Amino acid sequence: MSTKAKQGTVRALAIALYVVRLTQAPALCKQGAGAQTAAADPLTKTLQQLQAQSQAEGWKFTIGPTNALRDLLSGQPGLSDGPGGATGQSSLNGVLNARLDNYVASGQALVDRAVPQDSQLPASYSTLDAVGNLAPDVGDQSLGHTVHCGSCWAFASAGAIGFYYALLNRKKADFSPQELVDCAYASEGLPANGCKGGNAATAFDYARDHGIALWSNDPYVGRQKSCGHHPGAAKVQNYTKLQSPDGKSPSIAQIKGAIYTYGAVTATVMDSHAFAAYTGGVFGESGHGCDTSGKTNHLIVLVGWGTDAATNTPYWILRNSAGTNFGYGGYMKIAQTNPKTGGPCSALGQAVTYATIKEGR
């Protein structure tokens, strides 16, 4: 082997060993021998910057080299209000509100389970506990980083339908985000563009008009292909945007009631580097790590809530679409409020929807 080839092999081994060391760290990512060599890698450089910020600010949640961070650095995740990518909250919410408001009245009339008042809700709740092994599986929109598809909108929508299906029918069903990527095209000014971005309203429109197939009938391939309609295993009856009486973002009590009743809601959030690198704890406790730009670029699912005993921080249970090495097997505990701004952490919940499905489908 030439001297140049040997040097290349040694460098590759140094990078690999450093990433392994990061993965095995029990808390915050730690620098080790070979850090300067590995610093050219965008993932490692970002983690080093986050580590320095974490140490300076005293973060109590942990970070690491997650699939979600790799996705974000590659240009995902894919919430959009137009062809080509992410958007700020005002533009996105304007489009969503105009479309979803048309369904508020009819959606409420078709609700088949009464939403309880805040005083009737438990202090903590998780649909994961309520449905047990019937919960839909956590997916990875990047297929282990062999491809890059901005399909968070399809994963979140299919996941929310799956949780309500489990509650309603006491059966497990993994619905197909691939069918939504291929077939859920824009209508009435609400665009979706396959792997380049989309939103829950477009996904629920399609599942209402055509039904949605099982994952097993249309597996995820991480790219947009020609639309092929498959037998619908469930059909959306209607979907509704949550909002407060004054038309602003929904209250914490409203979101809790919808989760408790329908199993899950889709919600927008800002997928920052700190958010994407999350591996444990309560993200955003004391406001640390919460993005304060007020913009959203990612669609996720909320499936429960609780209060952290160590920090006394109320949190949401958030389900991501970046595989099981994110947080707790694909889930995050994220602070309900950001004490630095008085608003939600990372603009979470500015556009919240839930879908009802027809029983037995």
| CA terminus-to-terminus distance, the chain | 62
Residue with tokens 């610093």: 39
Query: Which range is least confidently modeled, 106-115, 124-133, 248-257?
Result: 106-115
Catalytic residue, candidates 195, 320, 338, 345: 320
As a whole number, mean pLDDT of residues 87-114 equals 37
Is the pTM value of this prediction over 0.75? yes
Q: Which letter does DSSP use for residue 189 in this model? A: T
Hey, which of 74-78, 334-338, 347-351 has the most confident mean pLDDT? 334-338
Amino acid at 260: Y
How does pLDDT run across 262-282, given as a tens digit for each residue?
999 999 999 999 999 999 999
Residue 288: per-residue pLDDT: 94
Q: Indicate whether 91 pLDDT > 80.
A: no
User: How far apart (Å, rounded) are the C-alpha atoms in residues 344 and 76?
Assistant: 22
Could you confirm whether 238 is annotated as catalytic?
A: no
Rounded CA-CA distance 269/343 in Å is 12
How far is the C-alpha of 90 from the C-alpha of 96, rounded, in Å?
10
308 or 74, greater pLDDT: 308
Is 294's pLDDT higher than 90?
no
As a whole number of angstroms, the distance between CA 275 and CA 287 comes to 12
All residues at 6 or more sequence positions from 78 whose CB lies less than 8 Å from its CB, including other chains: 85, 86, 141, 149, 150, 151, 152, 153, 195, 196, 197, 198, 298
Q: For the beta carbon of residue 245, count every other beta carbon within 10 angstroms.
A: 7
pLDDT at 99 exceeding the cut of 60: no
Percentage above 70 pLDDT, the chain: 72
Does position 134 have pLDDT exceeding 80, yes or no?
A: yes
298 given a catalytic annotation = yes
Phi (first) and psi of residue 332, to 5 degrees: -130, 145
pLDDT band at 70 (very low <50, low <70, confident <90, very high): confident
- What's the pLDDT score for residue 241? 85
Indicate if 152 belongs to the active site: yes
* Residue predicted with more confidence, 119 or 27: 119
CA 138 to chain CA mean position, Å: 10
Tokens, residue 202 = 């477009």
Residue 243 vs residue 288, higher pLDDT: 288
pLDDT bracket for residue 244 (50, 70, 90): low
In this predicted structure, the answer to whether residue 77 has a pLDDT above a threshold of 80 is no
Catalytic pick among 152, 183, 195, 345? 152
The model's confidence at residue 110, banded by pLDDT at 50, 70 and 90, is very low
CB under 8 Å to 7, separation ≥6 — which residues? none
**Counting Cβ atoms within 10 Å, is residue 294 exposed (0-12), middle (13-18) or buried (19+)?**
middle
What confidence tier does 133 reach under pLDDT thresholds 50, 70, 90? very high
| Fold of domain 89-357 | Cathepsin B; Chain A (3.90.70)
Active-site residue identified among 149, 298, 338, 345: 298
Domain with CATH 3.90.70.10 in the chain: 89-357
What pLDDT, in 10s, does the model give residues 193-205?
688 888 898 899 9
